[in-house]
Amino acid sequence: MKKSILIAAVLIGGLCLNNLFAQTMPRDTAKKSSTTTVPTPTTTNMAPAKSDSTAKDVQATLANVADLTSFVAAIKAASLEVTLQGPGPFTVFAPDNTAFSSIPKTRLDSLMKDPVKLATLVKAHVVAGRYDKAALIKALTAGKGTATLKTIDGQTLNISVKEKKLTITDAQGNVAQVTSFDTPCTNGLIDGINGVLMYK
């Protein structure tokens, strides 16, 4: 009960993200953490769509960010541009250019020439549903520090907090930390991450 009150107070007070995530972690390390599967959000737990007439769809928004050119190139090579222009809603965990540069060049070149594998990689970053920061915190709190999200093609992403950072782990063990939250789009939102998922 105390924990719920504390989390609500932090959300209302608008304290920094690191402190907020630190307070969602379970205190009792002797008990095994359970994992909560995050349901596809309904209109009641989805953040309201941005009313700003300048907002664009996910694909157009990604294409206008200079540090996401590698991810945008992967989307184009995988022929998924139309998908990300669709109604959604989507939550996209977008790896920055530095994340892509950490993949060995020969492996990255091979992926970029294989649309099927590349599509799997890109889809691993796109979650079905619109999950803003508050929804992710709620899921982590319910799961006592862990939760799962489903991508648009059914892959599982595990989310947790490590070293006061929201961390995403895919089925292959690739790990990325969320570096920015809630860039609004007409059909979802974008969070920045510092790693590439599903590339092994």
Name the pTM for this structure. 0.74
Would you state the pLDDT for residue 53?
52
Closest to 84 measured CA to CA, from 112, 46, 125 = 125
Q: Residues 60, 100: contact at Cβ < 8 Å? A: no
Residues of the chain with pLDDT under 70: 1-53
Partnered with residue 50 across adjacent β-strands are none
Would you state the pLDDT for residue 72?
96
Residue 16 token pair: 């920094």
Q: Residues 144, 22: contact at Cβ < 8 Å? A: no
Characterise 79 by phi-psi region: left (phi > 0), alpha (psi -120 to 50), beta (else). left
Would you state the pLDDT for residue 199?
72
Domains and CATH numbers, the chain: 2-193 (2.30.180.10)
Cα separation, 130 vs 11, in Å, equals: 19
Cα separation, 118 vs 49, in Å, equals: 30
Backbone angles phi and psi of 81, in degrees to 5: -60, -45
144-192 pLDDT tens trace: 999 999 999 999 999 999 988 999 999 999 999 999 999 999 999 999 9
